[in-house]
Amino acid sequence: MDAERIHRDAIVIDAVAPLLDRKKYVDSYNAGGVTCVAPTISAGTDSPAHALHGIGSWLRFIRSRKDLKLVRTASDIEAAKRDAQMGILFHFQGTGPFQTDLDLVEAFQSLGLRMVQLTYNRRDYVGSGCEEDRDEGLSTFGKNLVRRLNENKIVVDCTHTGYRTTMDALSLTTQPAVFSHSNSAALFPSRRNIQDDQAKAAAATGGLVGVTAVPQFVVPGNNGPARPSLDDLIGHIDHFVSLVGIDHVGLGLDYWWGTLPFSEVNFVISEWEHYVNVGDWSREAYPRPPHYNPPEIETPDMLLGMTQGLLRRGYKEADVRKILGLNWMRVFRQVWGE
């Protein structure tokens, strides 16, 4: 079948993978034909020590597996594809590990950090998250951080970040910036989704929007858990393609271990209660579990379903390859170099 051939030959990049906090799921991504995946090394206000421990754990794990490769340059992803390996890209979902010391950007970059999200829902030293009622934009520290990320060839990620803070960052950056895992507020007005002008501003930098499969950001729950289909998710891809063009849309599917079928329901609910209680999540944007991924791509090993769905929707082979990974490759090559 064409879908199987295209998926097998394509560079497939999932740019957000908190599921890999449980490293056993590496094999699921491998089985799904993923060329490069970005585990969340740190989130929110995690400390420098926490992030350092996470990187050390991953470096040791990569060294223990011949089928894995640390990604530092775009050519590392191409080499991983050629050598039947899977690239591991270090991503921070929040700037807590830097605290207020910009020299830590250099330190973590040297260890392989290649993409950094500015905030995680709440206000921090950088600016405001998307869950805040007030957004005063990038702080002075935040502006200096964006400049330092540019200098260090680290991708600026505006996901989970407030409207004004993202627009400040997108007007300041000198390198392509992204929303690594965000859907369209025009289709579903969750506070976690982004406005059309945010997507346009990211594309204007040369960046992209990576759509997320997290169910509560795809469709509303309608008095129960959200149960989106793959076609619902591809609707967000369609919207962004029509808005900013085929070259500025990718995948940041955001599988995580709190969504079924990865966890027991009672455990998922306890985790949800924790994040709500500490203020990371609101009940409006993050409704009570259980949560269900689109059944056609329920787990990473099923990602052939994404290729099948895009082809069924009418996307040409060249455009499917762009969405699967080549658009991310263009951004990475421009920011990181060869």
Which listed CATH number (3.20.20.140, 3.30.110.30, 2.30.30.40, 3.40.50.970) goes with 2-336? 3.20.20.140
Evaluate if residue 264 carries a pLDDT over 70. Answer: no
User: Higher pLDDT residue, 87 or 256?
Assistant: 87
pLDDT band at 338 (very low <50, low <70, confident <90, very high): confident
For residue 211, give the nearest of 321, 81, 73, 324 by alpha carbon: 324
User: Residue 267 has what pLDDT?
Assistant: 64
Instruction: Judge whether 215 and 291 are in contact, CB under 8 Å.
Output: yes
Ramachandran angles phi, psi of 249, nearest 5°: -135, 135
Per-residue pLDDT, 259: 82
Q: List the Cα angle 2/6/7 in 5-degree steps.
A: 115
DSSP state of 324: I
Q: What residues does each domain of the chain span? A: 2-336
Whether pLDDT at 297 is above 70: yes
Distance CA 125, CA 152 (A): 20
pLDDT at 40 over 90: yes
What's the pLDDT band for 289 if we cut at 50, 70, 90? confident
List pLDDT tens digits, range 150-173: 999 999 999 999 999 999 999 999
Q: How far is CA 131 from CA 44, 173, 276, 310, in A?
A: 13, 23, 12, 31
Q: What's residue 45's pLDDT?
A: 86
157, exposed or middle or buried, with CB in 10 Å at 0-12, 13-18, 19+?
A: buried
Q: How far apart are CA 112 and CA 95, in angstroms?
A: 15
What rounded mean pLDDT belongs to the chain?
A: 95
DSSP assignment of 109-141 equals HHTTEEEEES-SSS--SS--BTT-S------HH
Mean pLDDT of 48-67: 97
- Mean predicted confidence (pLDDT) in 212-229: 89
Structure tokens at 53: 């421990």
pLDDT value at residue 3: 97
The C-alpha atoms of residue 25 and residue 39 are separated, in whole angstroms, by 11
pLDDT at 221: 78
* Helices (H) then strands (E): counts for the chain: 13, 10
